[in-house]
Amino acid sequence: MQDGQAGSHNRYIAFEGIEGAGKSTVAARIADHLTAAGESVVVVREPGGTEVGEHIREILLGGDHAPVAMAEAALFAAARAQLIAEKVTPALDSGSWVLSDRSVYSSLAYQAAGRGLDLEDIRKLNDVALGGIWPQVVVLLRLDAGTGLARQAVGDRIGDEPREFHTTVAEAFDMLAEQDPDRFVVIDAAADPLDVVGQVLDALGVER
Ligand code: TYD
């Protein structure tokens, strides 16, 4: 579990952090650099990234529904299972990079720490959903909850949780990074955006 080591899977990169950390923007810039270097790149987002996943995203983040915590975790895992089968595995198998805007690590931070579900249960559930394929590198864009929430342009059902929830999530990301230092690259997302992108490129060994 949690290996993500095998062969081509070392090109599966996740971008993580609380709301407003700049994950989407940084992932897009890294994709530009890789593409300019002649690499094939697939960018995906979670939840979503497939037709089934986008329907599940609507259930999860649309304001009208409030699934219980375990249903929420299962729905994130379901969207993830679809994404892995339909997009991530085929891309990795063909030698592409996969840059994922959020990943399984969001479920460990939001559903386990944030919602209070058992961390090992959420790990196991997602290991099954992922078929054992975990991101090889997790770029954690680190930001405090106050700054992140102030930056957030549009809220959603989970993004609109109170600040304490997001503080718990931010602490959980820090804990996950501390426990898994070989996989995590931790970057101060309060820094200048160009600087953040430069640090990620260096960490991935991509020429600037
Ligand atoms: P998204 O629109 O991707 O926003 P952001 O810009 O914050 O990344 O929203 C995804 C929301 O879903 C966000 O509040 C985090 C939450 N989430 C989880 O709670 N668990 C998960 O496994 C994932 C992937 C996301």
The DSSP 8-state label assigned to residue 110 in this structure reads I
| pLDDT per position as a tens digit, 17-51 | 999 999 999 999 999 999 999 999 999 999 999 99
Nearest CA to ligand 1 atom 16: 158
| pLDDT per position as a tens digit, 167-197 | 999 999 999 999 999 999 999 999 998 999 9
d(CA 115, CA 169): 9
- pLDDT value of position 41: 98
Query: Which of 115, 158, 161 to probe ligand 1 with, by most ligand atoms within 8 A of CB?
Result: 158
Q: Which atom of ligand 1 is nearest to the CA of 105?
A: 22
Q: Which of 107, 75, 102 is nearest to 88 (CA)?
A: 102
d(CA 199, CA 1): 28
pLDDT band, very low/low/confident/very high, at 97 (cuts 50, 70, 90) = very high
- pLDDT value of position 10: 79
Q: How long, in residues, is the chain?
A: 208
How far away, in angstroms, is 167 Cα from ligand 1 center?
15
Q: Which atom of ligand 1 is nearest to the CA of 47?
A: 24
d(CA 55, CA 50): 9
Q: What residues line ligand 1, using a CB cutoff of 6 Å? A: 19, 23, 45-47, 61, 76, 102, 106-107, 110-111, 156, 158-159
pTM value is 0.95
How large is the average pLDDT for residues 50-76? 94
How far away, in angstroms, is 91 Cα from ligand 1 center?
23
